[in-house]
Amino acid sequence: MIDFNRPAFTGKETDYIKQAVMNHKLCGDGEFTKKCSQWMKDKLKTKYSLLTTSCTHALEMGAYLTDIQPGEEVIMPSYTFVSTADAFVLRGARVAFVDVRPDTMNIDENLIEAAINEKTRAIAPVHYAGVACDMDKIMEIAKHYNLKVVEDAAQAVNAYYKGKALGTIGDFGCFSFHETKNYIMGEGGALLFQDDEMLERAEVLREKGTDRSKFFRGQVDKYTWVDFGSSYLPSELNAAYLYAQLEACDKIDERRMSVWNFYNENLKDLADKGIIEVPFIPDYAKHNAHMYYIKAKNIEERTELISYLRSKDICSAFHYVPLHSAAAGRKFGYFVGEDKYTTKESERLTRLPMYYDLTLEDAATVTQAIHDFYKGR
Ligand SMILES: *Cc1c(COP(=O)(O)O)cnc(C)c1O
């Protein structure tokens, strides 16, 4: 049986968790949380990074910090995870869904401007599969119309746009360390930003509306309730797991990349013949091998492909049902312009098994099964 995903374990995770236990420090913002934040600062060149309980929560923080008001609008692709939209909907915002580019499945940067109106407050680009959106274009539009940019970089930790780490380009960047992502802590995430003026508000929001972070730094002698807040800090046990993963990032990247490249080389013949489509990586993007997907001719062929692979004990998975077609999507948002690609392309897409422990032998079983499926047609 070849699983679709298995959470990575690289070796030191349990030692670090044990260390956290022995340190008698299990709640948030201890040594391991600090080490994880420092890693993001050093490696990804972000000025600030706050570890959070999930990417969903990082997005909620980002949405809150944009100051978006009820009735105002945020622009995002419809082809994304629900959390991108939920974060803004919780603030009473409406979602303007824009079509994706069929080559990367990212928001079509050329359709954003047409979705802007006097209520628009923010853009939330999603770096699907760890492949960058066209950020120069998006940032230029945001600057021109004075909009905030919240990058959903859940899948894009340690992926780059023209040498800049994804998540560090917009006003806010949101990472996920959920066990289905590249580097993991069970459930977890991070909020990244570069603006000094955001630090205090972000820390207060994360610490139940108190200035506790300042207190710990010795900047105030007691902490009090200063603003709206929640609890977005993860336990040290989770941070300890994550720190082991971040230390082993090269090992994780190398293994994922070798599987990604293997799929790409061994499915090239089918792609060249136009039988399937494979991911496209624009010149400006350095991806992180988060995901490998193929596109079948249509939804019927995809359904048959998934069940054929299943019969060979291979788990593959399709992805998002476009948000604008869901009940909540209709209630909280609307699609701008024509849905030329979002529905059609999402119905063709199948994700192949991809995880740290997946061997090239397993990957070969997968590509062979795909060849067998198409041979019989
Ligand atoms: C995984 C994912 C999320 C949610 O991450 P959590 O850490 O599980 O909250 C949000 N957006 C995208 C694009 C994702 O892939």
pLDDT tops 90 at residue 369:
yes
Supply the pLDDT for residue 65: 98
Q: What is the position in ligand 1's atom list of the atom closest to the CA of 56?
A: 9
pLDDT in tens, 136-178: 999 999 999 999 999 999 999 999 999 999 999 999 999 999 9
What is the CATH number assigned to the segment(s) 13-247?
3.40.640.10
pTM over the 0.95 mark: yes
pLDDT tops 90 at residue 319:
no
pLDDT tops 90 at residue 315:
yes
Nearest CA to ligand 1 atom 5: 55
Confidence of residue 376 (pLDDT cuts 50, 70, 90): confident
Cβ 189 under 6 angstroms from ligand 1? yes
Cβ 176 under 6 angstroms from ligand 1? yes
Percent of the chain with pLDDT over 70: 100
Section 180-189 average pLDDT: 98
Supply the pLDDT for residue 344: 98
pLDDT in tens, 238-278: 999 999 999 999 999 999 999 999 999 999 999 999 999 99
pLDDT in tens, 269-294: 999 999 999 999 999 999 999 999 99
Cβ 53 under 6 angstroms from ligand 1? no
Domain segments of the chain: what residues?
13-247, 249-374
Mean pLDDT rounded to a whole number for the chain: 97
Residues 6+ apart with CB under 8 A from 51: 28, 33, 36, 37, 188, 189, 190, 233, 234, 239, 242
pLDDT in tens, 48-72: 999 999 999 999 999 999 999 999 9
Q: Collapsing DSSP states into helix, strand and coil, what is residue 8? A: coil
The encoded tokens of residue 359 equal 């061997």
Supply the pLDDT for residue 377: 83
pLDDT tops 90 at residue 374:
yes
The encoded tokens of residue 193 equal 């930003």
Q: Collapsing DSSP states into helix, strand and coil, what is residue 221? A: coil
Whether 13-247 and 249-374 share one fold: the answer is no
- What letter represents residue 131's amino acid? V
pLDDT tops 90 at residue 216:
no
Separation of 84 CA from ligand 1 center, angstroms?
8
Cβ 128 under 6 angstroms from ligand 1? no
Confidence of residue 107 (pLDDT cuts 50, 70, 90): very high
Q: How far apart are CA 306 and CA 316, in angstroms?
A: 6
Separation of 177 CA from ligand 1 center, angstroms?
8
Measure Cα distances from 180 to 39, 173, 184, 338, 352 in Å. 20, 19, 8, 32, 13
* DSSP of 162-191: TTEETTSSSSEEEEE--TTSSS--SS-EEE
Separation of 274 CA from ligand 1 center, angstroms?
32
CATH top class, domain 249-374? alpha beta
Q: How far apart are CA 143 and CA 122, in angstroms?
A: 11
